[in-house]
Amino acid sequence: MGRRDALKTIAAATLASTVTPAQAPPGPARPNILLVHCHDLGQFLHAYGVPTVQTPNLDALAEEGVLFRRSFCTAPQCSPSRASLFTGRYPHSTGVLGLTHADFAWDLRAEEKHLVQYLREAGYETAGIGVIHETRGGAERCGLDWYRPPARAKQAADEAIAYLKGRDNAATRPFYLQVGFIEPHRLPHDKESDMGFLGSDLEADASLGVTVPGYLRDTEGTRTELAELQGAVRHMDAQAGRILDALREAGLRDDTLVIFTTDHGIAMPRAKCSLYDPGIQVALILRWPSREGWHGGRVMKPMIQNIDIVPSLLEALGIETPSDLHGRSFAPLLEGRDYAEREALFAEITYHDYYDPRRCIRTSKHKLIVNFTTAPSFMDPSQSWRPRSDTVVPANHARDYHKAVELYDLEADPWELSDLSDSQEHAEIRKELLARLHAHLRDTEDPILHGAVTSPMHLKALEAMGLQ
């Protein structure tokens, strides 16, 4: 039996012993939970200050609930970030250091516990629709009792509405329903085309103009792509709104905790696949009408990360929180209890399209990035042979490569365009942040400290040569 087969056997045994459905424990009633997540959104919503994107349904959710203004992910690419979202742990600890699908083949370690497994053990009926990108094991590995695969937003919303309408509201077990939309991920128009935001059936939206962020050049190509992105986001918002309407019509609104989030930044140059803020900022909006502090149009300003969602839910639901989670509960923040704000947060990327390991530390004032290869200065997420959008920095992507260290003053330079790593004036802050980042990597046992990280494809190549 090969190593991967052995891990699958261990994973199956772990699932069999940990996700058997249980009856809801006695005590205060627990809420239903609806978690809606999408690809590649970042904070590209009207509620987060993008005036030209039309997202009335998610804006309304924020007006009724809680919006986290400084919300970040642990990784600026799909699978690693989702692994953190659903486990409360950093990607390098979960085993998901790159994409899980096809020959990328990263996967959750057998011992990693998914949010769904905690909830199922606590008596929840667990259901899922659409995107599962944090594991190769699909719904069974996550611990879902019921699953439907459509991930395009319209079809996923149809499935979610059918689930809510068909559920027996007198059921004694609360439900957990996660719905994963592909949009606004880039989509193929046909087999021959590059990847744009519209695929073959969405429409661009520039009816309110477009908002060009400061890290992109204001060109015709950039504006065209942003109009397409706005159309895809508007479509995604409409489908999220249909699900929220169905929740209300089923009489479940007040008894349901709604969470809306995404995996990482928008799929534009120097956002997705980068450790700059446009790559790691994410939307996080929640609403729990019956829980004091978890609703009311509040805006939370402390820095939080997607690793905080699992421990926050576990604490709020009265479920024991494991000591090995890296996230920290924000329930005390919402409920007016003692809460120490983060002084710093950490993010990482190891593999995506190719090996390009980077690690960063972000404080309220500074960002320090360490690059472990001389790869191009940013990994292009456009999935296009001829990208249409250009960055302000670098001026020529084809001739610019990583430095070992980058340092930015986020207050003076929020778009991270002026690297201060060689500035004598900033030598002490560089030294301090390097030491703090090293301590984080050491304490969380990041394999990058021990040399290059071996990919599943590397092992597959060795196996093909009869060496594995």
In DSSP notation, 236-255 reads HHHHHHHHHHHHHHTT-GGG
pLDDT attached to residue 1: 35
Are 299 and 374 within one domain? no
Q: Say if residue 241's pLDDT is above 90.
A: yes
Residues 6+ apart with CB under 8 A from 126: 116, 119, 120, 143, 144, 145, 146, 175, 176
Cβ atoms of 182 and 263 closer than 8 Å: no
Q: Are residues 287 and 418 in the same domain?
A: no
Pairing relationship of beta strands 125-130 and 146-148 according to DSSP bridges: parallel
Is residue 403, in this structure, part of any structural domain at all?
A: yes
- Helix spans in 250-325 (H): 277-280, 309-317
Q: Please tell me whether residues 15 and 162 are part of one structural domain.
A: yes
* 465 burial via Cβ count (<10 Å: 0-12, 13-18, 19+): exposed
Asked whether residue 115 falls in the same domain as residue 226, the answer is: yes
Q: Between 27 and 82, whose confidence is greater? A: 82
* Residue 166 vs residues 69, 238, 242, 250, 262: alpha-carbon distances, Å: 35, 22, 16, 9, 27
pLDDT above 70 (res 38): yes
> What is the average pLDDT score of the chain?
93
What pTM was estimated for this model as a whole? 0.93
* 340 domain-assigned: no
The region, left, alpha or beta by phi > 0 then psi within -120 to 50, assigned to residue 138 is left
Specify the amino acid at residue 134. Answer: E
Count structural domains, the chain.
2
Residue with tokens 């929180």: 321
Question: 364 in a domain, yes or no?
Answer: yes
Q: Average of pLDDT values for 459-468? A: 95
- Residues whose CB is less than 8 angstroms from the CB of residue 454 and which lie 6 or more positions away in sequence, other chains included: none
User: Are 273 and 402 in the same domain?
Assistant: no
Domain contains 238: yes
Asked if pLDDT for residue 2 goes beyond 70, the answer is no
- Are 349 and 320 members of one domain? no
Domain span at 264: 3-335
Q: Are residues 323 and 360 in the same domain?
A: no
Q: What is the dihedral of CA 458, 462, 463, 465, to 10 degrees?
A: 140
Whether 264 is covered by a domain: the verdict is: yes
Among 185, 393, 384, smallest CA distance to 274 is for 393
Rounded to an integer, the average pLDDT of 202-207 is: 98
Burial of 404 (0-12, 13-18, 19+ CB in 10 A): exposed
Residue 134 confidence (pLDDT) = 98
- pLDDT at position 4 is 36
Lowest mean pLDDT among 9-18, 73-82, 137-146, 190-199: 9-18
How close are the terminal C-alpha atoms of the chain, in Å?
Answer: 12
Same domain, 135 and 19: yes
Q: Are 274 and 41 in contact (CB under 8 A)?
A: no
pLDDT reading at 21 higher than 90 = no
Question: pLDDT tens digit string along 118-167?
Answer: 999 999 999 999 999 999 999 999 999 999 999 999 999 999 999 999 98
- What is the domain-level CATH number for residue 354? 3.30.1120.10
Q: Are residues 176 and 145 in the same domain?
A: yes
Give the model confidence (pLDDT) of 385-424 as tens digits: 999 999 999 999 889 999 999 999 999 999 999 999 999 9
Looking at the structure, do residues 93 and 137 belong to the same domain, yes or no? yes
In the block, tokens 């040569």 appear at: 465
* Cis peptide bond prior to 184, omega within 30° of 0: yes
Instruction: Mark which of 275, 306, 335 sits at the end of a domain.
Output: 335
pLDDT digit string (tens) for 281-290? 999 999 999 9
Do 350 and 306 share a structural domain?
no
Residue 25 has pLDDT above 50, yes or no: no
pLDDT in tens, 49-78: 999 999 999 999 999 999 999 999 999 999
Query: Where do we find the tokens 């009489």?
Result: 251
- 21 domain-assigned: yes
| 200 and 301 within one domain | yes
C-alpha pair distances (Å), 27 with each of 71, 216, 314, 318, 432: 32, 53, 15, 10, 48
Flag whether 216 is in a domain: yes
Buried b (16+ CB within 10 A) or exposed e, 221-236: ebbbbbbbbbbbbbbb
Per-residue pLDDT band at 192 (split at 50, 70, 90)? confident
- Is residue 23 very low, low, confident or very high in pLDDT (cuts 50, 70, 90)? very low
Predicted confidence (pLDDT) at residue 7 exceeds the cutoff of 80 = no
Sign of the CA dihedral running 178, 181, 182, 185: negative
- Please report whether residue 136 resides in a domain: yes
Owner of token pair 């983060």: 342
Answer whether the bond into residue 394 is a cis peptide, omega within 30°: yes
Where among 301, 335, 369 does a domain terminate?
335
What CATH number is attached to the domain comprising 65? 3.40.720.10
Interatomic CA distance for residues 82 and 108, integer angstroms: 11
Grade residue 169 by pLDDT with cuts at 50, 70 and 90. Answer: low
Max CA distance (Å), the chain: 67
Q: How confident is the model at residue 170 (pLDDT cuts 50, 70, 90)?
A: low
Q: How confident is the model at residue 172 (pLDDT cuts 50, 70, 90)?
A: confident
User: What DSSP state is assigned to residue 383?
Assistant: -
Q: Residue 190: what pLDDT?
A: 84
Single out the residue in 311, 335, 359 at which a domain terminates: 335
